[in-house]
Amino acid sequence: MLRVYHGCGAVSRWVRQERGLAPKSIIRHLPIIRRFLREVCPAGTDDLGKIRQEDVIRYVERHARDGSAASGKAMCWSLRAFLRYLYLSGSTPLALADCVPSIRRWKLASLPTYLSVVQIQKVFDACDQTTALGRRDFTILMMLAKLGLRASEVATLTLDDIDWRSGTMLVHAKGRQQARMPMPPDVGAAIVAYLRDDRPASPCRRLFLRTVTPHVGFASGCAITMIAKAALKRAGISDCAHQGAHLFRHSLATELLRSGATLSQIGQLLRHKSHDTTRIYAKVDIEALRTLSLPWPGGVLKWTLSIGPPDRRSKL
């Protein structure tokens, strides 16, 4: 198995050099490759040349429904990259990447999962604010729910990103973009309390630090996602299809839409590059959609049967 992990390291270098992926993106694909190797190549690298098309197809069929359609597509992407690497490096004589099945995911087909205002307050109340850890997590949850920040954006915030005079913060967004965002008073108050009473002494400039030594920033946004999942579990919220930091982002967008904000305004706040990304939230306001719906044809037929001429009713 040690040799298998060395193989993953080689794949990481190849994907970074040939496909230009960032290290944080590569980390997400490695567990998929490791699980594939454990199941298909239990003897390690000696079995790489024995992988057949049937093995790949059966593996995808077994695990395609383990999560959402998005996770299934990510699994197939990782497998294609890995199998392409095996063929180009000469580890297998077959070009197996082309036999990885595709998983359909229709654009804008699903509804975004979101929390109500009452549920979000329940998550806040479940934080143990008698401890430094609880107050830190409360501040993180406030930034997720009130500003709609992504997990990685919270993890990478630094002390230098906060401009106290203007009441704004510099957010390091996706695609190496930066955005200056206003800081609501309640969020600012929570950050001040954390910095004054709970943030460990450390030369690290990250805003949020680990409570255990070494007192450094989080390695990635995965830690923020785990904090969000733990908070939802403490609050007893388990009926959401997706649980994590992004759930608070969806909840903010949904509440803004129901409060009268336009899709353009929501897209600007969430820093969406495409209007299509924001458009999915138009489907969550069910009451507004009902005003656009056409009368059900069955209702017209029932009206005809009840008030039409007697001879026509008998024929129908």
Catalogue the active-site residues.
150, 174, 246, 249, 272, 281
Closest CA to 173 of 104, 108, 269, 279: 269
**Edge-first strand listing for the sheet containing 162-163:** 162-163, 168-172, 178-182
Structure tokens at 33: 């490759």
DSSP 196: I
Q: What DSSP assignment string belongs to 287-301?
A: HHHHTTPPPPHHHHH
Q: Please, are residues 11 and 33 in contact by the beta-carbon 8 Å criterion? A: yes
Question: Is the Cα dihedral 146, 152, 155, 159 positive or negative?
Answer: negative
Q: Which residues of 141-177 are buried (b: 16+ CB within 10 A; e: fewer)?
A: bbbbbbbbbbbbbbbbbeeebbeeeeebbebbbeeee
Closest CA to 60 of 98, 112, 95: 98
Cα 126 to Cα 231: distance, rounded to the nearest angstrom: 7
Closest CA to 284 of 246, 248, 256: 256
Q: Please, are residues 76 and 102 in contact by the beta-carbon 8 Å criterion? A: yes
Q: Measuring CA to CA, how many Å separate 59 from each of 33, 35, 53, 253?
A: 12, 10, 10, 37
Cα 11 to Cα 211: distance, rounded to the nearest angstrom: 34
Give the burial class of 290: count Cβ atoms within 10 A of its Cβ; 0-12 exposed, 13-18 middle, 19 or more buried: exposed
